[in-house]
């Protein structure tokens, strides 16, 4: 047996206030998006904001459905909208956060496995990294790309 390690590189900030103005704007838009989430079953609001290469900011939020698992996570809602409506624009950054009563939650809300795979596919499709920002009231983590959160992704080479 050979023991191997995976190293995850990211930047950590103590607060949203420590971010530059563009990242703060993305976080604020994700908070607003989260406040509009449709989550009558879990009452767990998640917002996402994606900055595109043309400067547009696309927002998404979680959308629940009584027929589980027919709902959709915030980050997939934003990414699918961006890819459907702006297919030639690269997604530069993606903020994900939990929200309650118009404020970021105190803890980070990381993307689920399905969302990580969709972010990876979007990044692979555009052939450039998508910066991932996980924001909360008490901490912000910034990853240079999705590979830091999904080191063993499922890709098209496995389909051949």
Which positions are catalytic?
75
Task: Yes or no: say if 138 and 103 are a contact pair by the CB < 8 Å rule.
Answer: no
Cα 122 to its chain centre, rounded Å, is 12
Contacts of 112 (CB under 8 A, 6+ apart): 73
d(CA 36, CA 46): 9
- Helices (DSSP H) in the chain: which residue ranges? 21-35, 74-85, 113-126
Task: Yes or no: say if 153 and 117 are a contact pair by the CB < 8 Å rule.
Answer: yes
Query: Peptide bond preceding 153: is omega within 30 degrees of 0, i.e. cis?
Result: no
């Amino acid at each position: 047996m050979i023991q191997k390690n995976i190293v995850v590189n990211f930047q950590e900030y103590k607060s949203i206030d420590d971010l530059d103005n563009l990242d703060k704007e993305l976080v604020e838009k994700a908070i607003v998006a989260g406040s509009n989430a449709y989550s009558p079953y879990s009452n767990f609001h998640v917002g996402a904001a994606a900055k595109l290469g043309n400067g547009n900011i696309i927002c998404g939020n979680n959308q629940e459905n009584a027929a589980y698992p027919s709902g959709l996570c915030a980050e997939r809602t934003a990414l699918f909208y961006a890819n459907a409506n702006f297919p030639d624009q690269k997604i530069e950054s993606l903020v994900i956060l939990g929200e309650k009563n118009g404020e970021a939650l105190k803890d980070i809300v990381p993307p689920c496995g399905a969302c990580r795979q969709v972010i990876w596919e979007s990044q692979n499709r555009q052939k450039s990294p998508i910066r991932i920002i996980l924001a909360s009231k008490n901490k912000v983590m910034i990853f240079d790309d999705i590979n830091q959160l999904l080191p063993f992704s499922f890709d098209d080479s496995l389909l051949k």
